[in-house]
Structure 1
Amino acid sequence: MSAPDVGGPWTGSGRATQIAVLTRRSLRALILEPRVIVASMLTPLLMLVVFGQVFASVAATANFPRGVSYIDFLLPAILVNTAMQSALQTGIALTQEMRDGIITRLRSLPVWPGSILLGRSLAELVRSALRLVLLLVLATLLFGFRPDGGPGGVLAATVLALLVGGGLGWIFIALACWMRDLELMQNLSGLVTFGLMFGSNAFVPLSSLPGWLQVIALVNPMTYGIEAARDLTLGHPPGAGAVLAPVAAIAIAVLAAAVAIVGFQRVR
């Protein structure tokens, strides 16, 4: 006679373990394909080169901060945008895995749906950090990026960019969970990214924008994130943006995560 099963049915591991395992799963793909990181550096570098040349004359206008090079003004905005672009890739990769049936297999396991989303998001946050470090190194070597805030200010701005970009990136994860169409996801995400980036103070000072665009920029959380990152790198005292940007990013991430989980539970 076999011994009775006193333990009951297995209900799966704890959520922390699930998140850790699924994060390692996503990171393993990055390690096996380092070319992905190299290729992902092309967009921020291209933005730095193109916008650094196209908008360089802005540094000569009356509203531009005195004694600041345009590269030092632009790079904090590129940091925030790069972090958000990494989060965008999370949404696209998630949509791809839904289409390929990988998510369906994971959903067949006793796994909390949020663990799958958080694991993917945390892995992308690591890749985003690597992208920002490489971007800073190349900007220093190739473009003479040497802001007055020094290494401490640049490090603080990088952490802030990861927080703001990662928080806003949950918008794309939520979109992926509800739309589940790769082409539609790419097109709509491009529109959202375009609006957030150009409806902000990324390329010119806020006071140089047209009046109607200033109104949009004032309700755009990226504006405050870029402003705070810029203050940190330039050695200025952090303003209200240093508080408003993380608070807004966290609030958006929590709301978008709740929406994403609801949509993700509908995946079959």
Structure 2
Amino acid sequence: MTTGVTTLTTAPRWRGTDFATQVAVLTGRSLRSLVGDPRMIFLSLLQPLVMLTLFSQIFASMANTPGFPSGVRYIDYLMPAILVNTAMQSALQAGIGLITDMKNGVLARFRSLPIRLGSVLVARSLSDLVRTTAQLVLMLLFAVTIFGFAPAGGVLGTLAALALALVVGWGLGWIFLAIAAWLRNAEMMQTVGFLAMFPLMFASSAYVPVAGLPAWLRAVAEVNPLTYAVNAARSLALAQPVTGVVGALVASAALAAVGGALAIRGFRRPLS
């Protein structure tokens, strides 16, 4: 008598896609949601253009004041600072976008899927980096065609300043993602963001030379980290001795590391 032996084979359990695929898919989702709202595209592109127009006209007389770099037009002096400031403001939007996803139920559905929660944060960071790049490129085209922006560093110097602004904005974006993951309130997030950004923007070398500021404000500007980022971007665009680029890159990497760790920790808390 032959005894039949039945061998049961168990199909391997599907554990989801790898981290890179998750990031790519989620980044595409964020970009599609952005492109799908023409109003958001228009407003996100209009804001930096308005800022460039106003500041280039309001502060144009600074080019004739003592202490201003000789032979440099104000638009060439201003534009690198506008790139850095716009990247910083876009970083705030990364945090607000994360809170929006928390409130509309998208993240609750993500938690039921076999994906790493960290991939959601990385995807948000990358999608906002793409949006910021589009903003800065449009601003450069606008500055060149309307205001005659033509720095001594030429195309290469301008692209280097653009890249530095993106790195700085990306690093700050992780800080705002961390704040968003813990606050989970869009109104409070905007308040905290603006309270942090305005002193950084105006108590710096962004719009006027530090030497022309009152003594107390000059002391603040000289320790303001945004001053170093702006000076580095400006030196690249104006073909001046490059200082502060390595420091800006290291600081941005440190902000991304700290912000990423805090963002993931706050993001793992149960949604209320």
The normalised TM-score by structure 1 is 0.94
Identity %: 53
2:258 equivalent to 1:250: no
Give 1:145 shift: 0.7
Report the equivalent of 2:10. Answer: 5
Give 1:30 shift: 2.7
Report the equivalent of 1:183. Answer: 187
| Counterpart Cα distance in 2 of 1:33 and 1:14 | 30
| Counterpart Cα distance in 1 of 2:68 and 2:7 | 81
Give 1:205 shift: 1.0
| Counterpart Cα distance in 1 of 2:37 and 2:256 | 28
Contact 1:52 1:71 in 2 (8 A): yes
Contact 2:35 2:41 in 1 (8 A): no
Report the equivalent of 2:269. Answer: 266
Aligned residues: 266
Secondary structure at 1:178 match in 2: helix
Contact 1:125 1:166 in 2 (8 A): yes
Report the equivalent of 1:45. Answer: 49
- Residues 118, 102 of structure 1: alpha-carbon distance in 2 compared, 3 angstrom cutoff: same
Secondary structure at 1:5 match in 2: coil
Report the equivalent of 1:109. Answer: 113
2:217 equivalent to 1:213: yes
Q: What's the CA shift string for 1:44-79, capped at 9, x where partnerless?
A: 111112112222221111111011111111111110
| Counterpart Cα distance in 2 of 1:109 and 1:201 | 47
Q: What's the CA shift string for 1:196-251, capped at 9, x where partnerless?
A: 21121111112222333333323332211111111111111211x11111111110
| Counterpart Cα distance in 1 of 2:210 and 2:249 | 20
Matches within 5 A, 1:135-146: 135-146=139-150
Give 1:187 shift: 1.4
The normalised TM-score by structure 2 is 0.93
- Which segment drifts farther, 12-21 or 171-180? 12-21
Give 1:84 shift: 1.7
**Structure 2 residue identity aligned to 1:103:** L
Matches within 5 A, 1:13-162: 13-162=17-166
| Counterpart Cα distance in 1 of 2:201 and 2:104 | 31
- Which segment drifts farther, 208-217 or 248-257? 208-217
> Which consecutive segments of 4 or more residues in structure 1 shift more than 4 A?
none
Alignment gaps of 5+ in structure 2: 1-5
Contact 2:87 2:132 in 1 (8 A): yes
Say which of 196, 199, 203 aligns to 1:199: 203
- Which segment drifts farther, 57-66 or 34-43? 34-43
Report the equivalent of 2:3. Answer: none
Contact 1:104 1:267 in 2 (8 A): no
Alignment gaps of 5+ in structure 1: none
| Counterpart Cα distance in 1 of 2:191 and 2:158 | 32
Higher CA-based Rg: 2
- Which segment drifts farther, 217-226 or 134-143? 217-226
| Counterpart Cα distance in 2 of 1:35 and 1:99 | 20
2:226 equivalent to 1:222: yes
Give 1:35 shift: 4.2
| Counterpart Cα distance in 1 of 2:225 and 2:111 | 34
**Structure 1 residue identity aligned to 2:230:** I
- Residues 33, 207 of structure 1: alpha-carbon distance in 2 compared, 3 angstrom cutoff: same
